[in-house]
């Protein structure tokens, strides 16, 4: 009964969205001027990028401090678990900082905005890139007994995967599989959104649509060929 209700609500929401979109398309009077939004959106993106990068640095310093403390018994386990989560948070913040910085920089260039915002966005991206090289060094402090490959090694990512044990691979596989499935759905949605935007605003988004379609085709082919040939 509960499931039936959920499906009914979803169908109702879908129908409302579908009707609204179709109605707007038939009217053909839909206009979208994003130019006035460019400056505030850039400010938000740059600020978010800077905050993300600062978070990475903060976690980096925190882990470095914690890694030097000697603990015993359950305290050691709790501290290790905390450091592991902080390392993941730092990596996520660094990646987000880079993505948001790039989005901000793109908007600044396209909308022809002020140079100082571009400088901040570039600085945030550079710090973020530097952190991706510095962070793996922390792993050696966190787990001195393990032999991690050097970041400068050829095939660093493959070597890191190879030295992970089965439990770590199990966790990675779960995360990667989920993100692969959601990435497919989200990119598919992005194509539909760009198509809708192109039709409604009269501004072609074909380059974006073809780029996303190519990324989806390559990623899916790579994944399925990997599975098929095992």
Partner 1 sequence: MKTRLKELRARHGINQTELAKRANISRQTVSLIEREEFMPSLLIAMKISRVFGEPIEEIFQFDEEELR
Give me the residues that bind partner 1 (CB under 8 A), please. 72-74, 76-77, 80-81, 84, 143, 145, 164-168, 170-171
The residue (of 10 and 82) whose beta carbon lies closer to partner 1 is 82
The residue (of 18 and 75) whose beta carbon lies closer to partner 1 is 75
Cα separation, 95 vs 52, in Å, equals: 8
**Beta carbon of residue 163, minimum distance to partner 1 (angstroms, whole number):** 10
**Beta carbon of residue 131, minimum distance to partner 1 (angstroms, whole number):** 22
**Beta carbon of residue 70, minimum distance to partner 1 (angstroms, whole number):** 11
**Beta carbon of residue 171, minimum distance to partner 1 (angstroms, whole number):** 7
**Beta carbon of residue 175, minimum distance to partner 1 (angstroms, whole number):** 13
The residue (of 171 and 214) whose beta carbon lies closer to partner 1 is 171
The residue (of 68 and 167) whose beta carbon lies closer to partner 1 is 167
Cα separation, 120 vs 67, in Å, equals: 31
Cα separation, 149 vs 158, in Å, equals: 10
Other CB atoms closer than 10 Å to residue 54's CB: what's the count?
14
Whole-angstrom distance between the N-terminal and C-terminal Cα of the chain?
42
The three state secondary structure string of 72-91 is CHHHHHHHHHHHHHHHHHHH
Helix (H) or strand (E) holding 37: helix 35-67
Which residues, 6+ apart, have CB-to-CB distance to 169 below 8 Å?
161
**Beta carbon of residue 168, minimum distance to partner 1 (angstroms, whole number):** 5
Tokens 């905050």, located at residue: 51
Residues 51, 92 contacting (CB under 8 angstroms): no
The residue (of 27 and 70) whose beta carbon lies closer to partner 1 is 70
Token pair of 156 as six digits:
């660093």
């Amino acid at each position: 009964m509960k499931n039936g209700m959920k499906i009914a609500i979803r169908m109702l929401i879908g129908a409302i969205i579908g009707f609204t979109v179709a109605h707007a398309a038939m009217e053909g009077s839909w206009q979208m001027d994003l130019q006035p939004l460019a400056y505030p959106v850039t400010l938000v993106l740059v600020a978010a990028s800077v905050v993300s990068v600062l978070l990475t640095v903060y976690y980096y310093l925190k882990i470095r401090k914690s890694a030097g403390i000697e603990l015993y018994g359950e305290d050691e386990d709790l501290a290790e678990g905390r450091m592991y989560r902080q390392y993941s948070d730092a990596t996520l913040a660094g990646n987000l900082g880079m993505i948001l910085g790039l989005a901000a920089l793109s908007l600044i260039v396209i909308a022809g905005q002020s140079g100082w915002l571009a400088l901040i966005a570039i600085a945030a991206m550079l710090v973020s890139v530097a952190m991706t090289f510095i962070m793996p060094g922390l792993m050696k402090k966190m787990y001195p007994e393990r032999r991690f490959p050097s970041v400068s090694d050829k095939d660093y990512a493959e070597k890191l995967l190879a030295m992970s044990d089965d439990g770590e691979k199990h966790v990675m596989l779960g995360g990667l599989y989920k993100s692969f499935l959601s990435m497919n759905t989200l990119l598919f949605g992005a194509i539909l959104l760009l198509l809708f935007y192109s039709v409604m605003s009269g501004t072609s988004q074909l380059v974006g649509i073809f780029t996303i379609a190519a990324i989806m085709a390559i990623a899916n082919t790579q994944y399925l060929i990997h599975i098929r040939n095992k």
